[in-house]
Amino acid sequence: MSEITVREVFAPVLQPGVMVTIGRVALVVLVLFAALKVVAFLVGRLVERRFSRQSMMITRKIVTYLGSVVIVLVVLAQMGISLTGLLGAFGIAGVAIGFAAQTSVSNIISGVFLISEKSFELGDLVRVGDNTGVVLSIDLLSIKIRTLDNQFIRIPNETLIKSEVTTITRYPIRRMNFEFTVAYGTDLPALQQALLEVVERIPQCLDEPQPLYLIKQFGPRGVDILLGVWFAKEDFIEVKNGVHERIKERFEQDGIEVPVISVMPLS
């Protein structure tokens, strides 16, 4: 491209009046976006004090989206573009977009219900179908979770509304159930005393609520026993490993035969 052609192309832009308009628009954009960030931050902090972190996150995003739309309209006005015809075109396009975005609208409505129900919060451990993980964010369209093996999963809000969601860490304490079978010749009162002593010696196991000892049934291989242990949710690993180790040691010490021992899944 020759030098004359380049000048002809950029001549309209390099005119003083156009340069002033571009500079003014750029300054308006910078100032408005900076102000929008400050407003979104302040509104989020105000909401967080009265509600929850997830409400703060959603509020910030709503403020950011609405503010961005306002900024675009202001920029178009500064550039001298008529908004009347533009809004008319948006109205026609909006009908077509509405039909194409039915899933997104459904996810937004589902997200509103999820937020109002407060079934889980940021940082909770949840199980949705075959996926279990920590909630990283709750958005208008979906939630993001990090699985226990450090994978990132995005789940649409509509899927959550239609699925069974288990909030594993909803309450500060939980109960872990250990199930095993002992031979029919086992002294059951002595077994109960041994299991309760095992639980007492593990500091992470709670005294209140009391441990649960239950004779479930007489099975084909022996007597089915259930031992329920209460613990603080953050002590999950210590309790699971500790109870298994202590039960094994005590049964070997007392000569108790255990054909099967298992723990009910909690995650």
What's the pLDDT at 148?
86
pLDDT (tens digit per residue) in 192-211: 999 999 999 999 999 889 99
Name the one residue in this structure whose structure tokens are 């902090």.
Answer: 45
Domain 120-167 listed as CATH 2.30.40.10: no
CB 147 within 8 Å of CB 124:
no
How does pLDDT run across 75-122, given as a tens digit for each residue?
776 666 666 655 555 555 555 555 555 666 677 777 777 777 778 888
| Phi, then psi, of 176 in degrees rounded to 5 | -105, 130
Q: Residue 150: pLDDT above 70?
A: yes
The boundaries of every CATH 2.30.30.60 domain in the chain are 120-167
Give the DSSP letter of residue 205.
B
Residues of the chain within CATH 3.30.70.100 domain(s) are 173-263
Q: Which residue has the higher pLDDT, 70 or 83?
A: 70
- pLDDT tens track for 155-187: 888 888 888 888 888 888 999 999 988 888 888
Neighbours of 227 (CB within 10 A): 23
Task: Give the residue carrying structure tokens 């976006």.
Answer: 33
Q: Is the pTM of this model over 0.75?
A: no
Q: How confident is the model at residue 230 (pLDDT cuts 50, 70, 90)?
A: very high
| The listed CATH number (1.10.10.10, 3.20.10.10, 3.30.70.100, 3.40.50.720) that belongs to domain 173-263 | 3.30.70.100
- Position with higher pLDDT, 147 vs 54: 147
